[in-house]
Structure 1
Amino acid sequence: MNHVTRRVATAGLAVSAIVALGAGSASATGGVDRWASVPATAKAAGTAAPNTLSPGLAEHAVAQGSIKLENPAGEVRYYGYHADGPMLPQPGAVQSPGHNVEATKTEPDKNTYLRLRGLHGADAGYDYGTRFLFQGHEHGGPGYITRVNLDADAAHRVTLLATKTVDGTELPAFDGSTWDPFAKKLLLTSEEGADGGVWQSDPDIGAKVRDISNVLGRGSYEGIQTDAAGNLWIVEDASGDVPSGTSARLPNSFVYRFVPKDKSDLSKGGTLQALQVISRRSGQPITFTPADASHPTGAIFSDDTKDLHTYGTVFDTRWVTLHQGDASSPPFDANALAKAAKATPFKRPENGVFRPGVGFREFFFTETGDTNASSKANGAYGGWGGIYRLTQSGPAADQGKLTIFYNGDQAHTGLDNISFLDRDHVAAVEDAGDSLHTQRGAFDSAYLFDVNADYGKSGQPVRFLAEGRDPSATVDSAWSAQGNGFQNDGDNEITGIHTSDGDPTVAGLLGTENPHPFHGGLRIFWTQQHGDNTTWEITRD
Structure 2
Amino acid sequence: MRRDAVIGAVLAGWLSLGATSAIGQGLTPVPKANPKVTGVSVPNVLSVELADVIRAQGSMVLENPRDWAAFYGYNNDRPNLLPALGSTAEATKTEPDKNTYLVLHGQRGADPSYDYGTYFLFQGHENGAGGKGYITRINLDADVAHRVTLMATKDDLGNPLPAFDGSTWYPWAQRLLFTREAGANGGVWQATLDVPSKVEDVSGVFGRGGYEGIQADSDGNLWIVEDVGGARGTVNNNALRPNSFIYRFVPYDKSDLKSGGGKLQVLGIKSKRHLGNIVFNTSDTADTAILSLDVRDLHTYGLAFNTEWITIHDTAVSGTTTPFDTNALAKAQGGTPFKRPENGMFRPGTHFREFFFTETADTNANTQAGSEFGGFGGLFKLSQRRPSDNTGTLTLFFLGDVDHTSFDNLAFWTEDLLVAVEDRGDSLHAQHNALDSAWMFDVRLDFSHPSNQPIRILAQGRDPSATIDSALLGTTGFQNDGDNEITGLHVSDGDPSPNGILGAKTPRPFNGSWRVFYTQQHGDNVTYEIVPNPHVTEAVGDDDDRGRRDRN
Alignment correspondent of 1:429: 421
Cα distance in 1, alignment partners of residues 407 and 286 from structure 2: 27
Q: Which amino acid aligns with 2:112?
A: A
Does structure 1 residue 479 correspond to structure 2 residue 472?
Answer: yes
Name the one with the larger strand percent. 1
Once the two structures are TM-superposed, the CA of residue 228 in structure 1 deviates from its matched residue by 0.3
Cα distance in 2, alignment partners of residues 105 and 266 from structure 1: 32
Once the two structures are TM-superposed, the CA of residue 56 in structure 1 deviates from its matched residue by 0.9
Asked if structure 2 preserves the Cα contact closer than 8 Å seen for 1:29 and 1:56, the reply is no
Q: Deviations over 1:14-57 (max 9, x none)?
A: xxxxxxxxxx9579999942112112111111100000011211
Q: Number of residues paired by the alignment?
A: 509
Q: Which amino acid aligns with 2:510?
A: F
Asked if structure 2 preserves the Cα contact closer than 8 Å seen for 1:107 and 1:139, the reply is yes
Q: Which amino acid aligns with 1:120?
A: R
Q: Which amino acid aligns with 2:453?
A: Q
Distance 1:365 1:196, change over 3 A: same
Alignment correspondent of 2:81: 87
1:160 is paired with a residue whose SS is strand
Q: Give the counterpart of 1:69 among 50, 62, 74.
A: 62
Q: What is the TM-score when the length of structure 2 is the normalising length?
A: 0.90
Alignment correspondent of 2:540: none
Q: Deviations over 1:305-328 (max 9, x none)?
A: 000000111100000010001564
Alignment correspondent of 1:392: 384
Once the two structures are TM-superposed, the CA of residue 329 in structure 1 deviates from its matched residue by 3.5
Q: 1:144-223 counterparts in 2 under 5 A? A: 144-223=134-213
Cα distance in 1, alignment partners of residues 148 and 206 from structure 2: 30
Q: Give the counterpart of 1:119 among 107, 111, 114.
A: 107
Does structure 1 residue 530 correspond to structure 2 residue 522?
Answer: yes
Cα distance in 1, alignment partners of residues 505 and 20 from structure 2: 22
Cα distance in 2, alignment partners of residues 53 and 422 from structure 1: 18
Q: Give the counterpart of 2:366 among 361, 368, 374.
A: 374
Distance 1:155 1:507, change over 3 A: same
1:499 is paired with a residue whose SS is strand
Q: Give the counterpart of 2:244 among 253, 277, 284.
A: 253
Asked if structure 2 preserves the Cα contact closer than 8 Å seen for 1:305 and 1:381, the reply is yes
Distance 1:129 1:454, change over 3 A: same
Asked if structure 1 preserves the Cα contact closer than 8 Å seen for 2:17 and 2:26, the reply is no
1:298 is paired with a residue whose SS is helix
Does structure 1 residue 56 correspond to structure 2 residue 46?
Answer: no
Alignment correspondent of 1:17: none
Q: 1:239-388 counterparts in 2 under 5 A? A: 239-246=229-236, 247-267=238-258, 268-290=260-282, 295=285, 297-325=287-315, 328-388=320-380
Once the two structures are TM-superposed, the CA of residue 537 in structure 1 deviates from its matched residue by 0.6
Asked if structure 1 preserves the Cα contact closer than 8 Å seen for 2:231 and 2:286, the reply is no
Q: Which amino acid aligns with 1:516?
A: R
Cα distance in 2, alignment partners of residues 306 and 32 from structure 1: 30
Asked if structure 1 preserves the Cα contact closer than 8 Å seen for 2:23 and 2:442, the reply is no
Does structure 1 residue 109 correspond to structure 2 residue 97?
Answer: yes
Asked if structure 2 preserves the Cα contact closer than 8 Å seen for 1:27 and 1:55, the reply is no
2:218 is paired with a residue whose SS is coil
1:33 is paired with a residue whose SS is coil
1:366 is paired with a residue whose SS is strand
Q: Deviations over 1:132-161 (max 9, x none)?
A: 000000012321000000000000000000
1:299 is paired with a residue whose SS is helix
Once the two structures are TM-superposed, the CA of residue 357 in structure 1 deviates from its matched residue by 1.1
Alignment correspondent of 1:417: 409
Q: Deviations over 1:213-237 (max 9, x none)?
A: 0010000000000110000000000
Asked if structure 2 preserves the Cα contact closer than 8 Å seen for 1:226 and 1:232, the reply is yes
Cα distance in 2, alignment partners of residues 389 and 27 from structure 1: 25
Cα distance in 1, alignment partners of residues 504 and 96 from structure 2: 27
Distance 1:144 1:75, change over 3 A: same
Q: Give the counterpart of 2:223 among 221, 224, 233.
A: 233
Once the two structures are TM-superposed, the CA of residue 296 in structure 1 deviates from its matched residue by 5.3
Alignment correspondent of 2:121: 133
Cα distance in 1, alignment partners of residues 254 and 110 from structure 2: 31
5+ residue gaps, structure 1, are 1-23, 96-100
Asked if structure 2 preserves the Cα contact closer than 8 Å seen for 1:27 and 1:36, the reply is no
Asked if structure 1 preserves the Cα contact closer than 8 Å seen for 2:23 and 2:417, the reply is no
1:182 is paired with a residue whose SS is coil
Cα distance in 2, alignment partners of residues 240 and 311 from structure 1: 24
Cα distance in 1, alignment partners of residues 73 and 382 from structure 2: 35
Distance 1:310 1:89, change over 3 A: same
Alignment correspondent of 1:405: 397
Asked if structure 2 preserves the Cα contact closer than 8 Å seen for 1:494 and 1:527, the reply is yes
Cα distance in 2, alignment partners of residues 236 and 296 from structure 1: 19
Asked if structure 2 preserves the Cα contact closer than 8 Å seen for 1:139 and 1:173, the reply is yes
Once the two structures are TM-superposed, the CA of residue 489 in structure 1 deviates from its matched residue by 0.6
Q: Which amino acid aligns with 1:356?
A: P
Q: Which amino acid aligns with 1:153?
A: D
Q: Which amino acid aligns with 1:232?
A: L
Q: Which amino acid aligns with 2:25?
A: D
1:336 is paired with a residue whose SS is helix
Alignment correspondent of 1:224: 214
Cα distance in 2, alignment partners of residues 450 and 317 from structure 1: 24
Alignment correspondent of 2:8: none
Distance 1:30 1:399, change over 3 A: closer
Once the two structures are TM-superposed, the CA of residue 65 in structure 1 deviates from its matched residue by 0.3
Q: Which amino acid aligns with 2:374?
A: G
2:489 is paired with a residue whose SS is strand
Q: Which amino acid aligns with 1:60?
A: V
Q: Deviations over 1:272-314 (max 9, x none)?
A: 0000000012132001344x5x635131101000000001111
Cα distance in 2, alignment partners of residues 199 and 438 from structure 1: 36
Cα distance in 1, alignment partners of residues 332 and 321 from structure 2: 19
Asked if structure 2 preserves the Cα contact closer than 8 Å seen for 1:28 and 1:56, the reply is no
Distance 1:206 1:472, change over 3 A: same
Once the two structures are TM-superposed, the CA of residue 245 in structure 1 deviates from its matched residue by 3.3
5+ residue gaps, structure 2, are 1-15, 534-552
Cα distance in 2, alignment partners of residues 506 and 436 from structure 1: 40
Asked if structure 1 preserves the Cα contact closer than 8 Å seen for 2:408 and 2:488, the reply is no
Once the two structures are TM-superposed, the CA of residue 170 in structure 1 deviates from its matched residue by 0.7
Does structure 1 residue 518 correspond to structure 2 residue 506?
Answer: no
Q: Deviations over 1:220-268 (max 9, x none)?
A: 0000001100000000001101122321111000000000010111112
Name the one with the larger helix percent. 2
